[in-house]
Amino acid sequence: MNFRKGQGREDPEINLIAFIDVLLVILIFLMVSTSYSKFTALQITLPTADAEKAMDRPFEINVGVDTQGRYSINNTRIAVQNPEALAAELTAAVAASGKTNTDPVIIIAADATATHQTVINVLEAARIAGYPKVTFAAQTSGKK
């Protein structure tokens, strides 16, 4: 039933005033709920130092192991085979240097074909002598 004869239907319109009111309320809500953080940093001028860096090298004991299982301490060949005797030689090398108040760094320079047991003997000797700082020497291959 169409009671409006002769009149066409009106096109629906969006009420722009209500739409703008809603957008303004959303905008105010976002502005209030946003936390504004300023990234502040302290302006610090660090002091400068002209002194040279001290070259503190630790006290080192070089232990060499060759392919036949022979040992050398600081390029002096020793004739020992068991870890206990090697520990005594390490302690004697430290005493001979006169630096008994610092723990030396034991540098193991083992040949690539040396047996695993000869290197373990050096590690065990360092443990028996009470020297916890142990490192291995290696050379670079030159390949990149």
| 73 part of a folded domain | yes
pLDDT of residue 58: 82
| 69 part of a folded domain | yes
Contact 90/135 with Cβ under 8 angstroms?
A: no
| 85 part of a folded domain | yes
**From CA 141, how far away is CA 39, in angstroms rounded?**
49
Q: What is the pLDDT of residues 42-65, one digit of tens each?
A: 555 555 666 666 567 788 999 999
| 16 part of a folded domain | no
| 31 part of a folded domain | no
Look at residues 13, 142, 131 and name the one whose alpha carbon lies nearest to residue 63.
131
Q: Could you give the 3-state DSSP secondary structure of residue 142?
A: coil
pLDDT at 126 over 90: yes
Q: What is the pLDDT of residues 1-40, one digit of tens each?
A: 556 665 667 777 778 898 899 999 999 988 888 776 665 5
| 107 part of a folded domain | yes
Which domain does 81 fall in, by range? 60-136
Structure confidence at residue 71 as a pLDDT band (50, 70, 90): very high
Average pLDDT over residues 52-81: 85
Q: Which residues of 10-29 are buried (b: 16+ CB within 10 A; e: fewer)?
A: eeeeeeeeeeeeeeeeeeee
Burial of 74 (0-12, 13-18, 19+ CB in 10 A): middle
Contact 58/105 with Cβ under 8 angstroms?
A: yes
Bridge partners, 106 (sequence order): 61, 134
106: domain CATH number is: 3.30.420.270
| 76 part of a folded domain | yes
**From CA 116, how far away is CA 82, in angstroms rounded?**
14
**Global confidence as pTM:** 0.58
| 55 part of a folded domain | no
Question: Which of 49-53, 68-72, 94-98 shows the lowest per-residue confidence on average (mean pLDDT)?
Answer: 49-53
Look at the chain and report how many structural domains it folds into.
Answer: 1
